[in-house]
Structure 1
Amino acid sequence: MRDDEPLTLDRAAAAAPDPATPPATVPAAPARPAAVSAHESAHRPPQWVRRLVITALLLAAVNLRPAITSLGALLKEVRDGLGMSGTMAGLLTSVPAACFALFGFAAPRLARRYGPGAVVCAGMAALTIGLLLRPLAGGTAVFLAASALALAGIAVSNVLMPVIVKRYFPDKVGTVTGLYSMALSLGTAVAAAVSVPLTDAMGGSWRLGLGMWALLAALAVGPWILLVRDRSGVHVPRRSPAPMASSGAAAKAADTGAEDSAPTSGSAGAPVLAPGEHGRITRSRTAWMLACFFGLQGTAAYVTMGWMPQILRDAGISAGQAGVLLAVTMAMGVPLSFVLPPLAARMRSQGPIVVLLAVCQIAGFLGLWAAPAAAPYLWALLLGVANCAFPLVLTMIGMRSRTGPGVVRLSAFAQSTGYLISIPGPILVGTLNQATGSWGVPMVLMAVLVAPQVLCGVLAGRNRQIEDEL
């Protein structure tokens, strides 16, 4: 994917500077003709479309994690049924991160060609099909392939959710991100809590216990079908004359509503890009810090979702209670995901929140190491607070760019690169557990990884925009 190939979203959102940005860092905008303002107003999404988008966002968010946490709650049964080793089970818990990285890189290109709504709709359909096929697997390879299909659908939706929010709600990024994150946490918690009891109620078959989540995923497809062809809020910029164009050409451009958003050295007829949109995203230190922070918090989240129930069960806690404890961890994100993004959006630096979440993460992992059965609900609560680094980093992605296209590029880069970084963690945890016969070494490793996570998060949380660095 070319980093200098932006997806053009709502023009008004693209032109608005981040409210937290000091005036000195915002380039002065050139004079804008009245025709342009009227043209942009015409592209504002109607109110009914915004309501439909909220419904679609919430239904999609509820479905973005049950495929993972339902598997975590039933991992022992799946391992026994398919004959998986500890390393292979670790690979299975890393499949989400691998799929998110692989397909996340493709999401912006697909969105440019087909539109974000169409891509998310296809993602929800792929998720539904994958969840239907996974219980039919007779071996590990087929199970992994069906899981990969479901997770591919989740991956493209993951990357495009901040894009959808910025496109339809440029003035309410923090609030809408909070709602979306709250729904995501709710779906995650419910899947963790009810997978084991519902499996027991259906005769103890883990295949039925995993397959039932396809019904919930199918419900999410409907609203996105209605948004497949929606183009409200999307503005494809007109081609504007080069700076040396004749006065007649300039007058014609003004009459047709074209604007020069920034001076360029391109030839006549080339699209005009805002400052910073022409540079490769890999040149931005902030983008790299966001990617590393995303990857390290993702490592902790997937180890928690994939391995915490097994750790608790090995400590003598029943399967049902282990599922409830995982649900407690995930449920902590419901209220906190609603409060944290708006709070972070009002702060000039998100570093203090990063440090607070890291302290909870260290305490939770060390508690699982030292005395998992002594205070399991405390460890679950602490890790639940720590997992709110996910909505925090989504909010930071929306704040670290001034424009809609910038958010697209930053979201794709930070999430896809971050997921690549998070792949080895769950595999290494499973391998270390199998090699040592205990969870001590894996949990100490997870506590040690908090240090680079805090460093990257504090640097990513500084009041910077990628356009300034490019």
Structure 2
Amino acid sequence: MTAPAFDSAELRSQEDGPSPHAGRHRALILVAIVLTGLTMRVAVTSVGAVLTDLERGLHASSSVAGIITTLPVIAFAGIGFLGPWLAHRFGEHRLVTAALLAATAGLVFRAVAGSVWLFAVLSMLALTGGAIANVLMPALVKRHFPERIGTMTAVYTTALAIGMTSAAGLTAPLAELGGQSWRFGIGSWALLTAFAMLPWLPTLAGDRPEPESLPDRVPLRWLLRSKLAWALTLLFAAQSFQAYIAFGWFTDFFRHHQLDATRAGLLVAFYAALTIPVSMVVPALAVRGQRRIVIGLAALSLVSYLGMLVAPVGGAWLWMLLGGIGSGMFPLSLTMIGLRSRGLATTAALSAFVQGIGYLLAGTGPLLVGVLLGISDSWTWPLVLLILAVLGSAVTGWYAGRGEYVDDQLHRPPRAE
């Protein structure tokens, strides 16, 4: 017996009543979203886990390795901007499936690359799956689960956090399993991306591309004059800015304050692991109101950074606990993309706008910290930078938490007769 194909009308309408296969379809989409969420960061954190061995194996300098670690920002911004246009042209489910196929190929072929530059090019291919999923997930959640935006956002952001943490923690053991081969370690994750494609396949038959004449297509330029769209963008950017600094520099922060490498690594791993339970809880709570959550999470992060400033070693575990909970601003910002937009086309465009610009701004964080440390050799100014970022997220999050919709602020050009 073959699985029933998804009819496009059934995918786009929640008002015609349930079809005989609606429950099965939604269950399949749920599995697909969970598996895709697991893959969204494996191409990123698997490299960081074996970066030293990779540099040695490909004879790469530290500066070139720095370029490789910057590629996710470029991919998430550049490829992400194309997401809504590609989805409109080819269909959301086809696009996600193709992106996962590209990611699988990239993960396999970069693992056998003979030069660092070929590795970099293939890494962009490996990052395609995460970049496309970043912008399409909010729209897919709104399309298939419009009455459970908070719950389903919690599902895929939790899966993202689990996948991210697993790739960071398991790549090195996988490399040992493969005979101390970093290539085996990073290439193994292609099995996960390939497996994640399977539940999307039954959805492809009914996923017809939309005609260009459809009136509900929302070009990104329409969002440029929306204050709410910019508030969500700056909220996302401020939180991602902090996250990039935390994952890239906090180990160095604790080493700078005389902690050994093992303890410093455990502290940052603890911080990262907290994103899993936080991602389970915050999106579901956000449906009931965002402003109190914004202020609460911002306050926890603020206390964390102030604590790191005045007692970096004595309260290290507490500061990482508070900061890890405060990182719940990330799943909150993704949830608000769906909550602050009415139409599916607006949600897709808003997701690309917020994450495309947001990731570009966030990518400056680690660079600024490096510059500040080079100038002063002190963590005072980098922590001040983090404090400013968390205050910015509080202000923009408070504004974005108003009961308004981006759809009402779109700058639509006059229609030609």
Between the aligned partners of 1:354 and 1:103, the Cα distance in structure 2 is 29
Corresponding residue for residue 267 of structure 1:
none
Residue 160 (structure 1) shift: 0.4
Corresponding residue for residue 214 of structure 1:
190
* 1:84 corresponds to 2:84: no
Normalised to the residue count of structure 1, the TM-score between the two structures is: 0.75
Which residue identity does 2:131 align to in structure 1?
A
* 1:307 corresponds to 2:249: yes
State whether residues 181 and 337 of structure 1, in contact with CA within 8 Å, keep that contact through their aligned partners in structure 2.
Answer: yes
**Which consecutive unaligned segments of at least 5 residues does structure 1 have?**
1-6, 14-36, 240-269
Corresponding residue for residue 33 of structure 2:
57
The equivalences for 1:165-204 within 5 A come to: 165-200=141-176, 202-204=178-180
My pick for the range that moved more, 99-108 or 432-441, is 432-441
Residue 69 (structure 1) shift: 2.4
State whether residues 110 and 122 of structure 2, in contact with CA within 8 Å, keep that contact through their aligned partners in structure 1.
Answer: yes
Between the aligned partners of 1:422 and 1:428, the Cα distance in structure 2 is 10
* 1:290 corresponds to 2:266: no
Between the aligned partners of 1:215 and 1:431, the Cα distance in structure 2 is 39
The equivalences for 1:246-285 within 5 A come to: 280-285=222-227
String of CA shifts for 1:366-408, please: whole Å, max 9, x gaps. 5556665545433332332122212101110111112222211
* 1:395 corresponds to 2:335: yes
**Which of these two proteins has the greater Rg computed from alpha carbons?**
1
- Say if 1:325 and 1:75 are closer, same or farther in 2 by CA, change over 3 A: farther
Corresponding residue for residue 259 of structure 1:
none
Specify which of 392, 396, 408 is matched with residue 348 of structure 2: 408
Corresponding residue for residue 423 of structure 1:
363
Corresponding residue for residue 124 of structure 2:
148
Between the aligned partners of 1:370 and 1:76, the Cα distance in structure 2 is 32
The equivalences for 1:314-393 within 5 A come to: 322-347=264-289, 350-366=290-306, 374-393=314-333
- Say if 1:371 and 1:107 are closer, same or farther in 2 by CA, change over 3 A: same
Residue 56 (structure 1) shift: 0.7
State whether residues 173 and 398 of structure 1, in contact with CA within 8 Å, keep that contact through their aligned partners in structure 2.
Answer: yes
Residue 154 (structure 1) shift: 0.9
Specify which of 66, 70, 87 is matched with residue 111 of structure 1: 87
State whether residues 90 and 430 of structure 1, in contact with CA within 8 Å, keep that contact through their aligned partners in structure 2.
Answer: no
Specify which of 111, 115, 129 is matched with residue 135 of structure 1: 111
String of CA shifts for 1:168-224, please: whole Å, max 9, x gaps. 111111111111111111112222233344445555443333332222222212222
Task: Kindly indicate which of the two structures has a greater share of residues assigned to helix.
Answer: 2
* 1:96 corresponds to 2:105: no
State whether residues 239 and 389 of structure 2, in contact with CA within 8 Å, keep that contact through their aligned partners in structure 1.
Answer: no
- Say if 1:374 and 1:79 are closer, same or farther in 2 by CA, change over 3 A: farther
Between the aligned partners of 1:124 and 1:425, the Cα distance in structure 2 is 28
Higher relative contact order (CA 8 A, sep 6+): 1
Which residue identity does 2:135 align to in structure 1?
V
State whether residues 104 and 159 of structure 1, in contact with CA within 8 Å, keep that contact through their aligned partners in structure 2.
Answer: yes
Residue 438 (structure 1) shift: 5.4
Residue 142 (structure 1) shift: 2.8
Residue 157 (structure 1) shift: 0.9
Q: Name the SS of the counterpart of 1:346 in structure 2.
A: coil
Between the aligned partners of 1:330 and 1:203, the Cα distance in structure 2 is 28
String of CA shifts for 1:388-433, please: whole Å, max 9, x gaps. 2121011101111122222112112111121222222223333444
Residue 313 (structure 1) shift: 5.3
Residue 57 (structure 1) shift: 0.5
String of CA shifts for 1:45-94, please: whole Å, max 9, x gaps. 71111111111110110111222223334444445554433x65554333
Q: Name the SS of the counterpart of 1:229 in structure 2.
A: coil
How many residues align? The count is 402
Q: Name the SS of the counterpart of 2:127 in structure 1.
A: helix
**Aligned-residue RMSD, C-alpha:** 3.3
String of CA shifts for 1:278-315, please: whole Å, max 9, x gaps. 99121211001111111121111222233334544565
**Which consecutive unaligned segments of at least 5 residues does structure 2 have?**
1-7, 411-417
Between the aligned partners of 1:291 and 1:134, the Cα distance in structure 2 is 32
String of CA shifts for 1:294-349, please: whole Å, max 9, x gaps. 112111122223333454456565666555444422322222222211211111xx
Corresponding residue for residue 457 of structure 1:
397
My pick for the range that moved more, 419-428 or 168-177, is 419-428
State whether residues 220 and 350 of structure 2, in contact with CA within 8 Å, keep that contact through their aligned partners in structure 1.
Answer: no
- Say if 1:429 and 1:95 are closer, same or farther in 2 by CA, change over 3 A: farther
Between the aligned partners of 1:466 and 1:48, the Cα distance in structure 2 is 33
Corresponding residue for residue 413 of structure 2:
none
Residue 439 (structure 1) shift: 4.6
Between the aligned partners of 2:327 and 2:138, the Cα distance in structure 1 is 18
* 1:224 corresponds to 2:216: no
State whether residues 69 and 305 of structure 1, in contact with CA within 8 Å, keep that contact through their aligned partners in structure 2.
Answer: no
